Amino acid sequence: MASNKNPYIPELVTITNIIEETPNIKSFQVVFNDPERMKTFKFEPGQVGQLSVFGVGESTFVINSPPTRMEYLQFSVMKAGEVTGALHELFPGDQMGLRAPLGNWFPYDMMKGKKILFIGGGIGLAPLRTLILYMLDNRGDYKDITIIYGARTPPDLCYKEDLKEWEARSDVNLILTVDTEYPGWDKRTGFVPTVLNEVAPSPDDTIAITCGPPIMIKFVLQNLAKLNFKDEDIITTLEARMKCGIGICGRCNLGSQYICKDGPVFSLAQLRDFPGVV
């Protein structure tokens, strides 16, 4: 179906593995039913896909495995509505539909030779994960990598295996936080934007990439500006209710741009250009 010109028809994929990340987030590892398609499928870090549960509907998720690791494609799903609820009922071996890749991606070429600061909250680590893993697989191309990541409580932290690995690496500076004190938690507490201020990373030669709940993104953007990060050096990836995924159906627009097609990745400089967004 790779040659299928109809942008609304999903390709069929099969779930090979499901990881319970948190009490309400599961990661689904999928492969195309057509093994040839698995070899020809190309995407860039930050691009998204529409997952279909036939009979329930479609929803948009970032491909959070990196293009450097193509044994499967991974999507993380927080149980929130109808489609995500149905996704959470699935088992390995079950089939889904996938329309991917959609949208733009992180400008990783522009980030080469620079220091990278990731700031994530909750499931917002998903789109950052694909880029973090991509950068770790091309580690020599980037300077210091700092990751500030927070969630409400320790059980709400996603990708615990990755976090363990990143924590152990000497070439990654991982800073974890949870909102308030929690039994057994000996690391930082406090909201992500506050922790960002405490860490106070230098804006010199640094690109900041952030994703999280809208309220977190709002304050992270403000705090990065206070730390003298330039608007062009602040990158975020947005989410909205989406249907078509090809910039027509009208619900995910910011001004004249559509998050599904022209985004989801925007710099703060771009966001400032849209009326009433930041």
Partner 1 sequence: MADTGFIPKEKWGAFIEGLAAKAQVWVPCLDGDVVIFKPYSKDQTLCFERPANSPPKGVIFPQSDTLFAFNFSKDPENPQKVMVELEEKLDFPKTIIFGSRPCDAKGFLIYDRPYMQTDTPDPYYKGRREQTAIVTMSCQSTYAGCFCTAVGGGPADKEGSDVLITELDNGYFIEAITDKGKEILQQAAAESGAGHEAEALKKQEAVRARVKDPFCANGKPEISKDLFESDEFWEEELSKCVSCGACTYLCPTCYCFNITDETTFEKGERIRSWDGCMYNHFTLEASGHNPRPTKFQRFKNRVGHKFLFYPEKYNGVIACCGCGRCIRFCPMSVDISEIVSKLQKQTGSASNGK
Contact footprint for partner 1 (CB under 8 A): 5-10, 12, 54-59, 80-84, 93-95, 97, 213-214, 239-241, 243-244, 246-253, 255-256, 275-276
- Letter string b/e over residues 43-70, b meaning 16 or more CB atoms within 10 A of that residue's CB: bbbbbbbbbbbeeeebbbbbbbbbbeee
Comparison of 185 and 274: residue with beta carbon closer to partner 1: 274
Cβ atoms of residues 145 and 134 within 8 Å: no
Q: Supply the minimum distance, in Å, between the C-beta of residue 116 and partner 1.
A: 28
Nearest to 49 by CA among 25, 68, 35, 32: 32
Comparison of 166 and 191: residue with beta carbon closer to partner 1: 191
Q: Supply the minimum distance, in Å, between the C-beta of residue 194 and partner 1.
A: 21
Q: Supply the minimum distance, in Å, between the C-beta of residue 168 and partner 1.
A: 33
Comparison of 156 and 233: residue with beta carbon closer to partner 1: 156
Comparison of 96 and 111: residue with beta carbon closer to partner 1: 96
- Give the β-pairing of 115-121 and 206-211: parallel
Comparison of 57 and 107: residue with beta carbon closer to partner 1: 57
Q: Supply the minimum distance, in Å, between the C-beta of residue 77 and partner 1.
A: 11
Cβ atoms of residues 146 and 173 within 8 Å: yes
Comparison of 81 and 155: residue with beta carbon closer to partner 1: 81
Q: Supply the minimum distance, in Å, between the C-beta of residue 106 and partner 1.
A: 21
Bridge partner residues of 50 (DSSP)? 60, 99
Nearest to 99 by CA among 47, 146, 142: 47
Nearest to 116 by CA among 172, 59, 182: 172
Nearest to 225 by CA among 247, 188, 252, 193: 193
DSSP state of 30: E
Q: Supply the minimum distance, in Å, between the C-beta of residue 33 and partner 1.
A: 9
Q: Which residues contact 40 (CB under 8 A, 6 or more apart)?
A: 2
